[in-house]
Amino acid sequence: MFRKALVLAGVGALALAATGCSSSKSASSGQADSGPVTLTYGIWDAKQKPAMQEIADAFHTAHPNITIDIQLTPNADYWTKLQTAAASGTAPDVFWMNTPRVGLYAGQHQLLSLSDKPGFDNSPFPKALNDSYTLDGKQYGMPKDFDTVGLWFNKKLFDAAGVKYPTAGWTWQDVISAAQKLNDPSKGVWGIASPDWTQENLFNTMLQAGGQAITPDHKKSGFDDPKSLAGLQYALDFITKYHVSPTAQQMTDTQPDQLFASGKVAMFADGDYDMPEYKAAAGLDADVAPLPAGPDGKKATVINGLANVIYAKTKHPQAAWEFVQYLGSKEANEIQAKTGTVIPAYNGLSATWVASTPQYHLQSFIDQLDVAVPYPVSKNTAAWTTPMQTTLDQIWGGKVDLTTGAKQIAAQMNAELAKE
């Protein structure tokens, strides 16, 4: 779902730039608001609205003169609407932001820098998340939640094949041999699903192999690194060499998460955010382990997460800052944690989230924080993710060979990054 949204971001980037909506500092930053104020708060996930409402109500109780008006726009249209409103000066006072787009919005001066605010403290949040929302030394987002990726597995299929469950000590080789034992074409069961999804699969395997999608300074592509190539090869081998994963075509017809939820796939690397789907799946007895280590014992997962940002043209910068500060407080994160939909960004609160769904070892997602690497972004992320995904689709579909395709991605990416 996230991948589709990325494609749209490119269009958004164009419109935002075309309208020349730069400059403009907020009219009255620092001024205290007198009298009652209503802040609009833009969010995109219906599932999280109840938790956001609870936080807004708690904030209102503490600040009776500030009312929060939550505006829910579905994820698919959120960015179209935001880009139109931002270009016209009418975006919500506070809204959700994600890592691939923060560079664009901050670069166009649409967001207030939080680093300039008195009392801003980012120490309660994972460093990788703070880094993702920092541009030229200034942080623009108050981290809201985060997600990492784990190896989901179907306990019933493992038991039936007599294979031991994945553990934190697993390596690539363990996954390959388990997948070969679990694969049972006569029953329509695949050992693993290895799609060309980046956040859930390829970005992680590239890191585990010692490579990377982008250099830490966000200036060069890592796709031409032989180690990155080894990571891609490992993921592709499940389809072309071992024949234990559905093909790209089959995973286009039916999404791999649906195949896993239906018991057709024994293992699947997926984010914590698909947990509610697996929880709702009838007859699925699953659990989750940390991702396996690469050939040199390297463990890694990308970490991604949302943040709350303040619109640069808000009429109530002081009230908006007070609200964002509250959104980043322990209290607000506790409310998020209890609902179990997302992992709160606030360090040390994950236990509440883990306990919310005791049937899964959700701790696996938290334990990987030590090896978590920020989700690869640059100033204009969408400019290179769209062609990257197109080429990956061609490689997975067997139309382009891996080495050629990876070189092509690196060249396209470097050309786009040079423009930044």
Partner 1 sequence: MPSRQRLWPIHVILAVGAAAMVAPFLWQLITSLQTTGETTSVPPHFLPSWQWSNYSQVFHDTKFAQQFLNSVSQTVIRVLAQVLFCSMAAYAFARLRFPGRNALFMLMLAVLMVPSQVYLLPQYQLVQNMGLLNTLAGVVLPGLFSAFGTFMLRQFFMSLPNEVEEAARLDGAGTFRIFWSVMLPLAKPGLISMGVLTVLWSWNDLLWPLVVVNDDSKMPLTVGLSTLQGEHLTEYPLLMAGSLLASLPMILVFLAAQRRITEGIALTGTK
Q: Which residues bind partner 1 (CB under 8 A)?
A: 1, 15, 19, 40, 44-47, 69, 71-77, 80-81, 84-85, 87-90, 254, 258-259, 261-262, 264, 273-274, 276-277, 280-282
Q: Tell me the H-state helices in 136-225.
A: 155-161, 172-182, 203-208
Give least dist CB 171 to partner 1, A.
29
Angle (CA) 112 108 75, round 5°: 80
Alpha-carbon torsion angle 240, 242, 243, 248, nearest 10? -40
Whose Cβ is closer to partner 1: residue 1's or residue 355's? 1
Q: Two tokens at 58?
A: 């708690």
- Three-class SS state of 331: helix
- The beta strand positions in 218-266, using DSSP E, are none
CA distances from 54 to 142, 321, 338, 339, 408 (A): 18, 19, 11, 11, 48
CB 195 within 8 A of CB 182: no
Give least dist CB 56 to partner 1, A.
15
CB 10 within 8 A of CB 386: yes
Whose Cβ is closer to partner 1: residue 319's or residue 409's? 319
Give least dist CB 197 to partner 1, A.
13
Whose Cβ is closer to partner 1: residue 67's or residue 233's? 67
Give least dist CB 281 to partner 1, A.
5
Whose Cβ is closer to partner 1: residue 65's or residue 254's? 254
Whose Cβ is closer to partner 1: residue 257's or residue 322's? 257
Whose Cβ is closer to partner 1: residue 274's or residue 416's? 274
Give least dist CB 343 to partner 1, A.
13
Give least dist CB 262 to partner 1, A.
4
CB 9 within 8 A of CB 16: no
Q: Two tokens at 126?
A: 């994972």
- Three-class SS state of 30: coil
